[in-house]
C-alpha cells in the first residue's frame, strides 16, 4: 500500500500487527474467564451466607418463642405477691 506521503505498509507489518491484536484478544479472553470463575465463587459464598443468615434467624425466633412466658410469669408473681400482702394486711386489721 502506498500513501501519497510516501509511507509504505507491507504485508509483514500488517501480519505482525494482527498477531499482536490476536495475543491481546487472547489475554482479554483469559481475564474474562477468570472473572467469570470469580463471580461463580462469589455466588456460592453469597448462597452460603444467605443460608447461614436464615439459620441464625430461625435460632433467634426459637429463643424469642421460649422467652415470652418469662415477663408474663414475672407479672403474675408480682400480682400474687401484692394479693398476699393485701390479704395479710386485712387479716391483721380485723
In a 3-state reduction of DSSP, which class is residue 94? coil
7: region left, alpha or beta (phi > 0 left; psi from -120 to 50 alpha): beta
Taking only the tens place, the pLDDT of each residue in 14-53 is: 999 999 999 999 999 999 999 999 999 999 999 999 999 9
Question: Domains of the chain: which residue ranges?
Answer: 11-68
For residue 65, what pLDDT is reported?
A: 83
Gyration radius of the chain's alpha carbons: 40
Measured over the CA atoms of residue 44, residue 45, residue 48 and residue 50, the dihedral's sign is negative
Q: Are 8 and 1 in contact (CB under 8 A)?
A: yes
* Gap between the Cα atoms of 33 and 82, Å rounded: 74
pLDDT of residue 63: 86
Q: What is the pLDDT of residue 3?
A: 62
pLDDT at site 17: 95
**pLDDT at 4 exceeding the cut of 90:** no
Task: Report the largest interatomic distance among the alpha carbons of the chain, rounded to a whole angstrom.
Answer: 129
pLDDT tens-place string over residues 45-87:
999 999 999 999 999 998 888 777 788 889 999 999 999 999 9
Amino acid at each position: 500500500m502506498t500513501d501519497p506521503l510516501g509511507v509504505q505498509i507491507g504485508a509483514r507489518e500488517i501480519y505482525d500487527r494482527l498477531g499482536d491484536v490476536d495475543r491481546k484478544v487472547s489475554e482479554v479472553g483469559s481475564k474474562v474467564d477468570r472473572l467469570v470463575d470469580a463471580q461463580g465463587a462469589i455466588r456460592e459464598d453469597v448462597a452460603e451466607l444467605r443460608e447461614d443468615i436464615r439459620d441464625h434467624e430461625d435460632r433467634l425466633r426459637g429463643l424469642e418463642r421460649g422467652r415470652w412466658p418469662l415477663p408474663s410469669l414475672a407479672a403474675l408473681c408480682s400480682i400474687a405477691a401484692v394479693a398476699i400482702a393485701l390479704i395479710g394486711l386485712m387479716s391483721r386489721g380485723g
